[in-house]
Amino acid sequence: MVEGVGLAVALDGCGWHPAAWREPEARPRELFSGRYWTELVQEAEHGRLDFVTIEDTLALQSSGRAAGGQPDEPDGRVDEVRGRLDAVLIAARVAPLTRGVGLVPTIVVTHTEPFHISKAIATLDFASAGRAGVRVRIAASGDVAAHFGRRDLPGRWSAESAAELFDEAADYVEVVRRLWDSWEDDAEIRDVATGRFIDREKLHYIDFAGRWFTVRGPSIVPRPPQGQPLVTALAHDTVPYRFAARAADLVHVTPRDARDAARISALVRAEWAAAGRPETEARLFADLVVFLDEDGGRAAERRQRLDERSGPEREFRSDAQIFVGTPSELADLLAEWADSGIDGFQLRPAVLPTDLRAITRGLVPELRRRGLFRDEYRAATLRGRLGLDRPANRYAPTGGVR
């Protein structure tokens, strides 16, 4: 398992509070610059965090989603951040400017193609020397579907349509994984003397044929350094738990307290076992939104100020638990939840860069003092850091391209 507790941050705009962009330390004018994102990820690396996830959608941000409401539901607000850069391209920009932290962009699988995403994430794994991952999510909104014009979806979220989209997403991830394996590790010969660059027998058709995808392969990108870059998914209920246990290497969950963490851990691990996957491969990270300050009163005042800026009756809500307090108090909570079956934590800074620095320069030293977090990176790859082996290539024992 992971050494101590795993620790990651989720980066989104100026922070997870909708009014974060109005804080003095926020940098809204730089949101669409490479420098802004590079400096945030470098700060995460300063704290030796395991990885960062970079939020992305196929729709403008909405106040409903920020408050834990219906995903991708449009609104007409103009007082909150709207617009974002592509998460995969942000990660590619940051990769050569960092050396240790994992890079996990978000991909919406509902309206994209697995062949494209497989080669994009494989390329990111090469660019980062084995630090890439991908967080997969669905888009169940008819408004998003209208951007593409290929399919009709209900105007609003429904459990039935979502269940079907999760089944589609599971097939999507399976195609991506097969494409990553479609080149054997030693398929590239690069022998100048004989003039052979690749061994054609070590490239494989994946011949995937399912309800949603028919993909022959092979990929055009060699097998990534990690073999299989990390796949993560956020899950809140039984159907997404089942999807994540079937398709992901790491599952993000959103407990409310230690008892809830134990309940969710048992549910996800049961789904993991039902999917026929070894228990030793299960990784559960709990998500929390954090307002952090060495003075807990200041953290509470900051949240109140931001809520007031959002307007009357606009108290900030989230799908994840909201923590307001000191790094020491947060360390107490993380230690308690870790005893309830949680392997690691993904923290969502309410304000960037304020709460990110509080994590790397306040929480991380506190966790180290308690022996709960390492001082340095001890594995070269993201999978290695999380205690996950490099998978064997499923096609290696068979013949080559037919």
DSSP string of 83-118, one letter each residue: ----HHHHHHHHGGG-SSSEEEEEEE-SSS-HHHHH
Q: Tell me the C-alpha to C-alpha distance, in Å, between residue 70 and each of 139, 225, 298, 319.
A: 11, 37, 31, 11
Backbone φ and ψ of 219, nearest 5°: -65, 165
Residue 283, C-beta contacts closer than 8 angstroms, at least 6 positions apart = 2, 6, 249, 250, 251, 343, 344, 386, 387, 388
Strand partners, 230: 133
* Gap between the Cα atoms of 89 and 86, Å rounded: 5
* Gap between the Cα atoms of 206 and 202, Å rounded: 12
Report the run of H or E that residue 349 belongs to, with start and end: strand 344-349
Structure tokens at 122: 């494989």
* Gap between the Cα atoms of 350 and 365, Å rounded: 20
254 annotated ligand binder: no
Structure tokens at 345: 């934590």
* Gap between the Cα atoms of 55 and 218, Å rounded: 29
- Taking phi over 0 as left and psi of -120 to 50 as alpha, with beta for the rest, 45 belongs to alpha
Let me know if 193 is exposed, middle or buried by CB neighbors in 10 A (0-12, 13-18, 19+). exposed
* Gap between the Cα atoms of 51 and 104, Å rounded: 7
The closest of 363, 354, 298 to 324, measured between CA atoms, is: 298
- Is the bond leading into 222 cis (omega within 30 degrees of zero)? no
- Tokens 């934590």 label which residue? 345
56 annotated ligand binder: yes
Annotated binding site for FMN: 56, 106
Binding positions: 56, 106
